[in-house]
Amino acid sequence: MNEIWSSLGEGGVRLAVFVSVFVLLAFLELARPRRVLSASKRQRWVTNWAIVIIDSALVRAMAHLVVPIAAVAAAVAAQQSGFGLLNLVALPVGLEILLAVVVLDLAIWAQHVASHKVPVLWRLHQMHHADRDIDLSTAIRFHPVEIALSMVWKILCVVALGASPFAVVLFEIILNAGAMFSHANIRLPLWLDRALRAVIVTPDMHRVHHSIERHEHDSNYGFNLSVWDRLFGTYTDQPAKGHDAMTIGLKAYQSDGPSQLGWSLALPWRGKGHDSGAQKP
């Protein structure tokens, strides 16, 4: 399977899937919006896309100036050296890939929990939550420093697990698509939402996580599989005020600041952004 990815071009496959999913969800946001947006979509999207461009540039700079840091490269190195749990046991290829995808999803869930519970990590992660609306563009709105730390964590998990390059690429494709889907401002039929969230995170489920209420945004941490929040007791079914009346963002930052690039990048040094001790913009 690794040869298949090599022949198709890993970067090309990932880009094709990303663009396809993004375009489809963007169309659905226009056709079936879940909520009326409170801030200027144009300004938010310009800012959020500028952030992802900066994120990409930083990761590339790290790769060239420090070490070739990429989860797939780490998987190749672990496989060649025989390092990692899955490289020490003989499992059917399909089972090995499934285990790798599930364990890596749990690792990302745990990282997300840590980003809310560890103060220094929350300072970075709050930029994602400060967005006063949640839609497709929110899925790519992460502070550059948080992206760098996330990459390091992912590499450590890939090496320790011994996940194959194919499994890592597949996981990242699923993770990116799941993040875009869960953040999308689309209205799903209630029966479909209930059926899907038994396995994966739906937009209505993840929207609770972006609630202005602290007890709600400290729940529903999953990006892809919904099982972890149910298993570890961090699942909230619905927002207390309902999806139409709930407020998105952080209480301390209900202004135009989160829609501005400079303000957003400087947010980790403005305050904690939780209910107490936060500084208003």
pLDDT single digits (tens) 148-202: 899 889 999 999 999 998 999 899 999 999 999 999 999 999 999 999 999 999 9
d(CA 79, CA 113) in angstroms, rounded, equals: 29
State the pLDDT at residue 11. Answer: 66
166 belongs to a structural domain: yes
State the pLDDT at residue 90. Answer: 85
Q: In the beta sheet, which residues pair with residue 211?
A: 248
Give the side-chain half-sphere CA count within 13 A for 216. 24
Res. 20: pLDDT tops 60: yes
214 belongs to a structural domain: no
State the pLDDT at residue 62. Answer: 63
139 belongs to a structural domain: yes
20 belongs to a structural domain: yes
224 belongs to a structural domain: no
Nearest to 171 by CA among 73, 99, 110: 99
Res. 147: pLDDT tops 80: yes
Nearest to 229 by CA among 109, 98, 134: 109
Helix (H, G, I), strand (E, B) or coil at 248: strand
232 belongs to a structural domain: no
- pLDDT bucket at 126, cuts 50 / 70 / 90: very high
Which residues contact residue 134 at a Cβ distance below 8 angstroms, ignoring those fewer than 6 apart?
Answer: 183, 185, 206, 207, 210, 248
How far apart, in Å, are the Cα atoms of 133 and each of 24, 224, 255? 20, 20, 12
Q: Which domain holds residue 147?
A: 2-188+260-267
64, 134 Cβ separation under 8 angstroms: no
234 belongs to a structural domain: no
90 belongs to a structural domain: yes
145, 61 Cβ separation under 8 angstroms: no
267, 128 Cβ separation under 8 angstroms: no
State the pLDDT at residue 214. Answer: 92
CA 1 to chain centre: 26
Mean pLDDT across the chain: 88
φ, ψ of residue 271 to 5 degrees: the values are 165, 180
Helix (H, G, I), strand (E, B) or coil at 139: helix
Domain count, the chain: 1
